[in-house]
Structure 1
């Protein structure tokens, strides 16, 4: 009888130890095409980082098409997915401080901007708690946004009246200054929108020329050095799911994955996609990249200053020291770029 009790206790201990180390497979929702860098490099990269940090106790599986882009944050809040990525511009009025990183005029690549974004969020923007109800695990921005069109665009003036898909956020403010006729559709609808003639152009970073096959339906790129705008993204996790993880697993994720490390990975992935797409565009005989003239660059700088003043005013009205936050973005990007 005593031996039986000892064996039973040992079996219970083994089972308990095994349960404590059981693998948690997170459902990661994505609304992008399967081969998009967000899926292949960023979200898959997140899975790799989590597995490594937790010795395999946390992993994840990307599932697509669970909900449309604007519903992703609510999807996680409702428990229908454990992790997702959102584009802030798809929900006008819900996010204000996130527009800070979208302003035109920053110098530096997406990696530098994404790292700066996280640091500034921690120092200034977090107090607005705009992602309340979920756990924020990464922030990022793509590289400089340019104008891709199915019509030739050689000057800033050629943009006036161009029917252009704008993603929302600061791109809409910039579009208004440029005289663009804004059309809003989610990114996965861009190809058919351009192919059908419902739009003449789209505002996107260079990398999306591959992701959304713009080399087929928008063969002209009008490039403003430094970009017309950037775009703000966040990766979110269910707070309830995070809280359910063992304390040591939570600590490992917080220290080794979430925040700046993952934000840096996302930025680097955006940069790599831009490099690949530029090379593909330059190699395509029927694709053209036109760089804005010095005169047009100067004219756009004045427009950008107006947009910057407007957005910083909105952020200040929300209770943030907008100017200090803006200066910190520039300073942190400069550090990362050296």
Structure 2
């Protein structure tokens, strides 16, 4: 049953389920999906349109997917979906501190160099170890994924770790905050889309984000240096979720159809799309005159960073001690999948 809150929203927005086309005419259910990044983002250019096609095909047109621009903070997406304002959406797990801690296994520095590999490994680890803990109660989980390796986007050159000390850096939460603390930077917590404004106004000296955002969030306009570590510095876990009532309101046949194009399949799609977008971000940075620095594992800066990152895996294990999970076994399983998928 659609909530009063949701009915009111679509009434105000003038939304209608009556759309043209044979597929739409046959639809008996419309899923409204909340998204919050620019149209050029991998999520909006590739992931959502592909999943929309998959769902509508798998349900033989009985379910229509409508992508809606979410004008609120990405921090409130999970609540909006849980409350039934939207049927589905996605956001960064760390934007809700303390709620989704298990998936942060994928955020441990040095574990992932490929977003597709990391996303599939994360989903498999969720299925094998995390699902029983029910961190996602109140939501129906459709997929988990990570972006490409996080890098340094700055307004100053970085030749050593000392260059970072005291600098104001935008962070998004999760294990990157632990890294920021160890680096001695001044962390400024904000969602990724705020990075451009914060850098343009001089509020921060840089941001931890993947190279993709040089294009998607137009960081190439406010960045002077993009420092690329061979393994990246960290990554960020995202969840694609659905309102449980919206899911349960579907026929059993359509529930199975949607999950057949979600889960590992959707996780893989999202990871691959976000990872590939890093190449476009690097090209955008170069075209805009950003100083793009490629580091190798032999560079002193990389070796120093590797040393600094040691033990963050134990920080994750400690952070989930209140969860019903064998964290050591889950981490070993995650690493095993990353290794096997990377071959």
Q: TM-score, normalised by structure 2?
A: 0.88
Larger Rg: 1
Which of 280, 285, 290 pairs up with 2:284? 280
Moved more, 24-33 or 259-268: 24-33
Does residue 75 of the first structure (1) align with residue 77 of the second (2)? no
- State how 1:198-213 maps to structure 2 within 5 Å: 198-213=203-218
Instruction: Render the CA deviation track for 1:72-112: whole Å, top value 9, x for unaligned.
Output: 11111111100010101111122211211111111440000
Instruction: Render the CA deviation track for 1:133-156: whole Å, top value 9, x for unaligned.
Output: 110000000011011001111222
Identify the residue that residue 305 of structure 1 maps to in structure 2: 310
Moved more, 299-308 or 86-95: 299-308
Matched residues, number = 319
How far, CA to CA, are the matches of 1:279 and 1:214 in structure 2?
A: 12
Identify the residue that residue 182 of structure 1 maps to in structure 2: 187
Moved more, 152-161 or 225-234: 152-161
Identify the residue that residue 118 of structure 1 maps to in structure 2: 123
Identify the residue that residue 263 of structure 1 maps to in structure 2: 267
Identify the residue that residue 253 of structure 1 maps to in structure 2: 258
Instruction: Render the CA deviation track for 1:157-202: whole Å, top value 9, x for unaligned.
Output: 2111111000001111111111111001222211111000000000
Which of 193, 202, 212 pairs up with 2:198? 193
**CA RMSD, Structure 1 to Structure 2 (Å):** 1.8
Tell me the CA shift for residue 23 of structure 1.
3.5
Structure 2 unmatched runs, 5+:
1-22
Q: TM-score, normalised by structure 1?
A: 0.90
Identify the residue that residue 223 of structure 1 maps to in structure 2: 228
Partner-residue secondary structure (3-state), 1:94: coil
Partner-residue secondary structure (3-state), 2:136: coil
Tell me the CA shift for residue 286 of structure 1.
3.9
- State how 1:1-338 maps to structure 2 within 5 Å: 22-254=27-259, 256-291=260-295, 294-338=299-343
Tell me the CA shift for residue 317 of structure 1.
4.0
Q: In 2, are the aligned partners of 1:83 and 1:238 still within 8 Å (CA)?
A: yes
